Structure 1
C-alpha cells in the first residue's frame, strides 16, 4: 500500500512544481523582448518594430470580458493618450481563447474597440504564443518596454497598472506611470515588478 501512496504523492509534487514553473516562466525585468506580428482590429498587422518613432511600449494583456479588464479600460485609454505623444504608446493584446470566452472573439474585439473608440492597437494573440513568451497570466497584465537599439526592446516593468482595481482616483500607487516617469528621466524603474491582479488567461485546451 505504501508504494502506490508514494507514487500519488510524487505525482502531486511534480504537478505542483510544473504549475509553479509555468507560472514563473516568461520575461523578467531586463530581458530583451522578442518582436511579434499580431492582427489589429483594423485587420493590419502590428509589431514592435513597426513604429520607428516609439521609445518603448506599454504592452497590456487584456480582454473584453474580464471584470478587472473592464475596470481598467478607461485607465488604459488614458495611459495611451498621455504617453503615446511622449513615445510610449499602448499595445493591447487579447490572449484569451474564444472557444472558452466567446465574448473575446476577434469580431467582439472589433465591436469593443469601435464602441470605446480605442486610440491604441488592440491585437489578437490567437495562438497564445506571445502571452506564453511574455509569461502573462492575468488580464490585465502590463509589460513596459524600453527601446535599447534600432529594433531592440528590453522589459523595464512587469505587473499591475496601479494599486486599486476598482477606482482609479483611489489608487495611491500608479506603478506604470511611475515606471515611465523614471525611464523618461533616464533611470531604471524604482518599482520594476508588482503582482498583476485580474482574471486568469483563458488558455486553449490541450488536444
Structure 2
C-alpha cells in the first residue's frame, strides 16, 4: 500500500511538472527579452483590423494588455493615455489589447470595450483578443502587463516587460516610471535598466 501511494504521488508530481514546463497557466514559453515579435491582426474598437505592420514608421510600440473592469487596469488608464500622448510623436505609440473573455468576466465584451474607449477618450487602438492567442503568444499574465518593443533592422524586438511604474494602485506615489525610463533609454540608444519588473494586476480571464 505504501508503495502504491508513493507511485501515485510521484506520478502526480510528474504530471504537474510536465504542465509547468509546458507553460500552462503562466505561459512560460511567451516572449522574453531580445525576442522578435511576430505580427498579428486583431479587431480595434473602431471595427477595423489592426496589425503591428500598420506602424511601419514607428521606432517601437508600447504594447499594453489591459481590460475594462480590473481595478489595477483602471488605476493605470490615465497613465496609459499619458504614455501615448507623450511618446506617440516620438515614435513609440501605445497599442492596447484586451485578452479577457466576457464569458468568464462580465463587462469585457466588445461593445463594453467600445463604450470604455469612447468614454475615456482613448487616443490609441484598443484591440480585442477574442481568440486569446495573442496574449498567450506574448506570455502576458496580468492586466495591466507591458511589453515594450523596439524596431531593430525592421524587426520589433522585446526590450522591456513588466509594470508601468512602481505604484500600480496610486499614481500619486510613483517614484520610478519604468516604461518612461525604458523608452527614453531606447531613444538615446542606451540599454534598458531595469528591463524586467513584476507586473501587478488582475489575472487574465481567458
Q: Describe the SS at the equivalent of 2:35.
A: coil
Q: Match of 1:192? A: 195
* Ranges in structure 1 where 5+ consecutive residues have no aligned partner: none
Please report the TM-score for the alignment, with normalisation by the length of structure 1.
0.93
Alpha-carbon distance change, 17 to 172 in structure 1, aligned in 2, over 3 angstroms: farther
Q: Describe the SS at the equivalent of 2:107.
A: helix
Alpha-carbon distance change, 114 to 88 in structure 1, aligned in 2, over 3 angstroms: same
Alpha-carbon distance change, 171 to 21 in structure 1, aligned in 2, over 3 angstroms: farther
Q: Distance in 1 between matches of 2:77 and 2:6?
A: 49
Q: Match of 1:63? A: 67
Deviations along 1:116-172, whole A, 9 cap, x unmatched? 01000000001111101100000000000001133x100010000011012213111
Q: Match of 2:37? A: 33
- Pick which of 84-93 and 159-168 moved more: 159-168
Aligned residue-pair number: 202
Q: Distance in 2 between matches of 1:97 and 1:78?
A: 27
Q: Match of 1:176? A: 179
Kindly indicate whether residue 58 of structure 2 is the aligned counterpart of residue 54 of structure 1: yes
Aligned match of 1:84 in 82, 88, 91?
Answer: 88
Q: Describe the SS at the equivalent of 1:104.
A: coil
Q: Match of 1:6? A: 7
Q: CA deviation at 1:7?
A: 1.3
Kindly indicate whether residue 110 of structure 2 is the aligned counterpart of residue 113 of structure 1: no
Q: Describe the SS at the equivalent of 1:126.
A: coil
- Pick which of 169-178 and 135-144 moved more: 169-178
C-alpha RMSD of matched pairs (Å):
1.4
Q: Match of 1:15? A: 16
Kindly indicate whether residue 126 of structure 2 is the aligned counterpart of residue 125 of structure 1: no
- The ranges of structure 1 where at least 4 consecutive aligned residues each deviate by more than 4 angstroms after the TM superposition are none
Alpha-carbon distance change, 126 to 197 in structure 1, aligned in 2, over 3 angstroms: same
Q: CA deviation at 1:6?
A: 2.9
Q: Describe the SS at the equivalent of 1:123.
A: strand
Q: CA deviation at 1:17?
A: 5.2
